[in-house]
Every structure is written in C-alpha cells, then in structure tokens.
Amino acid sequence: MQVSEGGFLITKIHHLSSRIFSKKLKEHGIEISPGQGRILFALWRDDGIAIRELVNRTQLGKSTLTEMLDRMEAEGLVERMASTVDKRETLVHLTGKTKKLHEKYLDVSLDMTELFYRGFTEKDIESFEEYLRRLLANLTKFKKT
C-alpha cells in the first residue's frame, strides 16, 4: 500500500474549518472555542451525562476535558453535579445561558454544512460520511489496543 495524503487533507480541513467555524460563531455573538462547541453539542443532544461518557462522545482526553469544563463552568456555560444514582459519578449539565445559545449554534452549523457540501449530491454525502465513520472506527479500535 502506498502512502496516501488522506490524513494530511483531513488535518488541513480540520484546521481551516475550525477557523471558519470560530469566525461564524463570533459573527453570531457566540464566544466559544471549537472544543467547547464539541462539548456543548454532545450536551445539547443529551444533557446531564457523565464525564466518562462525555470523553467518549467528544474524543477529548479526560484531562483536556476536565480543564475545558473548569473554564466553561467559570464562564457559566455548564455545571457539574454528583449523580443522585451513583455519588462517585459526576454529571455535566447545560445552564440556561447555553440552552439559549443552541438555536444560534444550529444556524452556524447549518451554514457550515452548506459550505462543506457545496456541489455534493445526496449520494456523495452518504458515501463520504460512511467513509468517515469507517475511518473513525479504525482509529477508535486502534486507540483501545
């Protein structure tokens, strides 16, 4: 197998899209980093989840996630609470402030989706996203070994 430029292209796309996404968020009055956006996105889908589950859903390291949650909690974006079921488990919850940001964030996400897939057919998008899921699965399996 020859060396492919896929990883290089993914890295370039990641960096460029992060800069564009951050710019669009600021234009909509949302001052959060892309990493914070990943955390909020996971919580908007399922509020009040355990930190260990948030690590899985965001693919952030536990120490990185903890540092980000510290900042986000100080900014009033999230709050951490002990689980009522298992006191050893800490759950992360959205605040009223972040619940209000959700609609604006979705607007920016739709703008980014349109930008990403400009010129793609529905079939192109389905195939592309399936390939991305397979790449992610390969990397996730490797990480666990």
Do residues 32 and 25 make contact, with C-beta atoms less than 8 angstroms apart? yes
Please check whether residue 14 lies inside any domain of the structure.
no
Range of the domain at 136: 22-144
Instruction: Over range 76-83, report the average pLDDT.
Output: 93
Dig out the tokens for 12 from the structure.
């370039």
Please check whether residue 8 lies inside any domain of the structure.
no
Please check whether residue 5 lies inside any domain of the structure.
no
Please check whether residue 47 lies inside any domain of the structure.
yes
Neighbouring-strand partners of residue 92: 49, 80
Please check whether residue 99 lies inside any domain of the structure.
yes
- Cα(98)–Cα(63) distance, integer angstroms: 22
Per-residue pLDDT tens digits for 113-145:
999 999 999 999 999 999 999 998 998 888 766
Q: What is the pLDDT of residue 145?
A: 65
CATH of the domain at 41: 1.10.10.10
Please check whether residue 9 lies inside any domain of the structure.
no
Please check whether residue 15 lies inside any domain of the structure.
no
Which helix (H) or strand (E) covers residue 94, if one does?
Answer: strand 90-94
Tokens 């899985």, residue located: 56
Where on the phi/psi map is residue 119: left (φ > 0), alpha (ψ -120 to 50), or beta? left
What does the mean pLDDT of the chain come to?
91
Please check whether residue 2 lies inside any domain of the structure.
no
Q: What is the pLDDT of residue 12?
A: 96
The number of folded domains in the chain is 1
